[in-house]
Amino acid sequence: MALLIIGLVLFLGIHVVPMSPSLKASIIARIGENGYKLAFSVLSLIGLVLIVIGFGQFRGSAGDIELWSPPTWTRHIAFALMLPAFILIVAAYVPSDIRAWAGGHPMLLGVILWAFAHLVANGDLAGLLLFGAFLVWAVVDRISAGKRAALGPLGRRSGHLTGDIIAVAIGALLYALMLKWGHPLLIGVPLIG
């Protein structure tokens, strides 16, 4: 459990820095823009690796207690929410009307859907720690982005129907690949027979 928690603190902690423009500016003033980007990327990667290893070790271990037993129908909710989650995550990087509909921050909305979907479908402590932490961070960051008028990775680039089609097509393809091969390969849990 320690690796998972350290990874979450590191990964989400570094992602909290942009929520405070003054903190981000002071770090950039000390180490420069490129130094900040390098540190952000390296610490994010280390945090992500620790999360993956820590979750893999903790999930199903003796310490990973079952907190509740999710009904079977919650799995269907997860399946239903994951398609728009994938589309929204792709839309964060494709100029589209989906971005505008999502308030300019489809990545955060996609993470919220991903975390919520997995939280309702899993009743163990490992799932609560992982998905609960990401859900709280994404909600707080979404609120913060609105207050800061943060623009997201594409800035003010507007979208059109072609971007919507691209985001939906790539999101649906990634969803299908994750259902069939990705989830069992990456997570070790098959989703469909």
Distance CA 95, CA 108 (A): 16
pLDDT at position 153: 67
| Residues with Cβ within 8 Å of residue 16, at least 6 apart in sequence | 137, 141
Q: If we measure between CA atoms, which residue out of 46, 45, 25, 47 comes closest to residue 36?
A: 25
User: Which of 4-18, 57-71, 142-156 bottoms out in mean pLDDT, i.e. has the lowest?
Assistant: 142-156
Q: Mean pLDDT, to the nearest integer, of 114-140? A: 96
Distance CA 92, CA 103 (A): 11
pLDDT at position 188: 77
Give the tens place of pLDDT for each residue, 44-101.
Answer: 999 999 999 999 999 989 999 999 999 999 999 999 999 999 999 999 999 888 988 8
The encoded tokens of residue 82 equal: 């994951």
pLDDT at position 185: 81
163 pLDDT exceeds 80?
Answer: yes
Q: Mean pLDDT, to the nearest integer, of 150-172? A: 84
pLDDT at position 19: 94
75 vs 189 pLDDT, higher one: 75
185 vs 142 pLDDT, higher one: 142
175 to 38, 102, 135, 186: CA distances (angstroms): 30, 19, 20, 14
3-state DSSP assignment of residue 83? helix
pTM: 0.91
pLDDT at position 116: 97
Say if residues 121 and 77 touch (Cβ distance below 8 Å).
Answer: yes
The encoded tokens of residue 88 equal: 């929204």
pLDDT at position 148: 82
152 vs 123 pLDDT, higher one: 123
Say if residues 12 and 44 touch (Cβ distance below 8 Å).
Answer: no
* Torsion-angle region of 65 (φ positive above 0: left; ψ -120 to 50: alpha; else: beta): beta
pLDDT at position 106: 93
Beta-bridge mates of residue 66: 124
Q: Mean pLDDT, to the nearest integer, of 97-120? A: 92
Q: Cite the DSSP H helix spans in 1-72.
A: 2-16, 21-58
> What's the DSSP call for residue 179?
I
Q: Mean pLDDT, to the nearest integer, of 24-46? A: 97
Count CB-CB contacts under 10 A for residue 91: 31
Q: Tell me which amino acid residue 87 is.
A: I
